[in-house]
Structure 1
Amino acid sequence: MRTDGPVVVALDGTPHSARTLEWGVAEAVRRQADVLLVSVVDDTWQVTAWSWYPMVGMTEIDTQVKEYLAEQETQVAERHPGLTVRSRVLHGAVVPCLREISAEGQLLVVGAQSRHGRQRTGTTGVHVAAHARCPVAVVRTEPERPVLPDADVVVGVDGSSASLAAARVAAREAWMRGRPLTVLHARPTIPDPFGRGSVPPLATDDENDPTHKAARVVAESLRADNGGLTVQVALVDDDPVDALTGLARGAALVVVGSRGLGGFRGMLLGSVSGAVIREATCPVLVVHDNG
Structure 2
Amino acid sequence: MRADGPVVVALDGSPHSALTLDWGVHEAVRRRADLLLVRTVDDAWQTMAWSWYPVPVGADLETRVKEYLDEQAAFVEERHPGLHVETRAMHGRVAPCLRELSSDAALVVVGARVRTGPGRTGSTGVHVAAHARCPVAVVRSDPFRATPADAAVVVGVDGSSASLVAAHLAAREAWMLGRPLRVVHARATIPDPYGRGSVPPLATDDEDDPTHRAALAVVDTLRAEHEGLTVELALVDDDPADALVTLGAAAALVVVGSRGLGSFRGMLLGSVSSAVLREATVPVMVVHDDG
Q: Tell me the TM-score normalised to structure 1 length.
A: 0.90
- Which position in structure 2 is the counterpart of 1:252? 252
Residue 203 to residue 146, structure 1, CA distance change in 2 (3 Å): closer
Please report how far the alpha carbon of residue 136 of structure 1 lies from its aligned counterpart in structure 2 after TM superposition: 0.3
- Which position in structure 1 is the counterpart of 2:243? 243
- Which position in structure 2 is the counterpart of 1:195? none
- Which position in structure 1 is the counterpart of 2:125? 125
SS at the partner of 1:67? helix
After superposition, the CA RMSD in angstroms is: 2.1
Distance 1:145 1:248 in 2: 15
What per-residue deviation string (whole Å, max 9, x for no partner) do you get for residues 90-143 of structure 1?
111221111001112100000001224556111010000000011000001113
- 1:78 aligned to 2:78? yes
- Which position in structure 1 is the counterpart of 2:214? 214
1:112·1:140 contact (CA, 8 Å) conserved in 2?
yes
SS at the partner of 2:282? coil
SS at the partner of 1:129? helix
- Which position in structure 1 is the counterpart of 2:15? 15
Please report how far the alpha carbon of residue 202 of structure 1 lies from its aligned counterpart in structure 2 after TM superposition: 8.9
Please report how far the alpha carbon of residue 85 of structure 1 lies from its aligned counterpart in structure 2 after TM superposition: 0.6
1:258·1:268 contact (CA, 8 Å) conserved in 2?
no
Instruction: Output the amino acid matched with 1:94.
Output: V
- Which position in structure 1 is the counterpart of 2:286? 286
Distance 1:116 1:207 in 2: 37
- 1:48 aligned to 2:38? no
* Unpaired segments ≥5 residues, structure 2: 192-200
What per-residue deviation string (whole Å, max 9, x for no partner) do you get for residues 18-44 of structure 1?
000000000001101110000000122
What per-residue deviation string (whole Å, max 9, x for no partner) do you get for residues 140-161 of structure 1?
1113432101000000111111
Instruction: Output the amino acid matched with 2:48.
Output: T
Please report how far the alpha carbon of residue 53 of structure 1 lies from its aligned counterpart in structure 2 after TM superposition: 2.1
* Unpaired segments ≥5 residues, structure 1: 192-200
What per-residue deviation string (whole Å, max 9, x for no partner) do you get for residues 220-270 of structure 1?
11111111111111111111121111122110000001238xx67865311
1:115·1:142 contact (CA, 8 Å) conserved in 2?
no
1:140·1:283 contact (CA, 8 Å) conserved in 2?
yes
Of stretches 236-245 and 267-276 in structure 1, the one that deviates more from structure 2 is: 267-276
- Which position in structure 2 is the counterpart of 1:31? 31
SS at the partner of 2:38? strand
1:203·1:209 contact (CA, 8 Å) conserved in 2?
no
Residue 62 to residue 216, structure 1, CA distance change in 2 (3 Å): same
1:182·1:233 contact (CA, 8 Å) conserved in 2?
yes
Distance 1:268 1:205 in 2: 34
Structure 1 segments (4+ residues) deviating >3 Å: 54-57, 116-119, 201-204, 263-268
2:7·2:105 contact (CA, 8 Å) conserved in 1?
yes
- Which position in structure 2 is the counterpart of 1:197? none
Instruction: Output the amino acid matched with 2:103.
Output: A
Between the two proteins, what is the percent identity of the paired residues? 69
Residue 14 to residue 203, structure 1, CA distance change in 2 (3 Å): closer
- Which position in structure 1 is the counterpart of 2:182? 182
- Which position in structure 2 is the counterpart of 1:194? none
Distance 1:271 1:102 in 2: 22
Distance 1:57 1:203 in 2: 59
Of stretches 227-236 and 50-59 in structure 1, the one that deviates more from structure 2 is: 50-59
- Which position in structure 2 is the counterpart of 1:150? 150
Instruction: Output the amino acid matched with 2:80.
Output: H
Distance 1:234 1:144 in 2: 28
Q: Tell me the TM-score normalised to structure 2 length.
A: 0.90
Distance 2:272 2:124 in 1: 16
Please report how far the alpha carbon of residue 86 of structure 1 lies from its aligned counterpart in structure 2 after TM superposition: 0.6
- 1:4 aligned to 2:4? yes
- Which position in structure 2 is the counterpart of 1:227? 227
What per-residue deviation string (whole Å, max 9, x for no partner) do you get for residues 43-99 of structure 1?
222233333124563100000000000000000000001110110101112211110
Residue 189 to residue 27, structure 1, CA distance change in 2 (3 Å): same
Distance 2:168 2:111 in 1: 24
SS at the partner of 1:2? coil
